[in-house]
Amino acid sequence: MRNILIIILSLLVLSACRDDRQEDFFLSEGKIKIHRYDRLQFEASALNSFTSLQKMNMDFPHATKILIEDVLALGSVNDEKINDRLCAYYSDTSLVNLMLDVEDKYKDLGSFEKELTKAFVNLKKELPSMTVPAVYSQISALNQSIVVSDSLIGISLDKYMGEDYPMYKKYYYNYQRKSMSPDRIVPDCISFYMLGLYPFPWEKDHRSLFDIMMYRGKIAWITEKVLGESDYGARILGYDKEQLAWCEKNKKSFIEWVEKSRHLESTDPMIIRAYIQPTPNKILKDEVPPMIGVWMGMQYINAYMKKNPDVTIEKLLEDTDYEGMLMDIDI
């Protein structure tokens, strides 16, 4: 079966090649195409294909540079020995098996292309000057899930094999594996792209939990809006029915507790991580869903936008007066 899959990959990779520019294609065809860079990686390393290696460098120079220099940190893309180093890296048996498993799971990315197209069409309406990114799939050797750089989105399919994927259980905690399901691919693409377009202003004085919570909350809120979601937290935060039910039941009392605790004005990294990161912590109770601060930010943003229907998404993204927003809403 594995040999048959390798032969199929050899044929499919010939149709996977197109340079890493998306905007013109999107504007003319009206759809997102996910370029199968991961298949070129497999051809170049596991099958020792010099042609595929050339295509990686010639047709996807930006993606290859990011992979070598930033994701894998193997050295400079201009190093005369870098191609040998790259192929040797991916020739590891575990990585070859991982690439085969990725191809077996992701034979077709049509459903993801369709949802990404819908999301970027909606986002382009709100942000007319936004460049629609080129999108490609890759094997990051279990490094970054989503790579964003200069109107480019790289999806590491090997980081979205499902939380029960056997290899994950060797390297990741349960809370980490929950974010590694195929359902998270599209929300992650949209949110990470917007985080890149509208980065948090760390150079300013506003670095409290409240500022970060509102910033992350508006990115998450916009992501789910352009995806057409209504249960805020279900897709972008990966909340299950029980977690959503807890949030709904305890919304008022928990927000009141947080406000009284004075955590919102805190700049303590440990407190901020407790609310923003999915990692276990000793500050909040075990039953509190992870990343509850992002969920809270989404609630504040949702209330603000309901009260101010004239505020566009573009204005919301540019607005950093979060205290002013809070004065204008009632949760």
Tens of pLDDT, residue by residue over 182-196, are 999 999 999 999 999
Q: How many H-runs (helices) and E-runs (strands) does the chain carry?
A: 17, 4
Instruction: Using 70 as the pLDDT threshold, list the residues of the chain that sit under it.
Output: 1-29, 203-206, 331
3-state SS class at 22: coil
Instruction: State CA 284 to chain mean position distance.
Output: 26
Comparing CA positions, the residue from 305, 297, 328, 310 lying closest to residue 218 is: 297
Q: What is the predicted pLDDT for the residue at 330? A: 72
pLDDT of res. 21: 53
Give the Cα separation of 110 and 227 in Å (integer): 16
Q: At what angle do helices 292-307 and 269-276 cross, to 10 degrees?
A: 70
The pLDDT score that the predictor gives to residue 20 is 54
Predicted TM-score of the model (pTM): 0.89
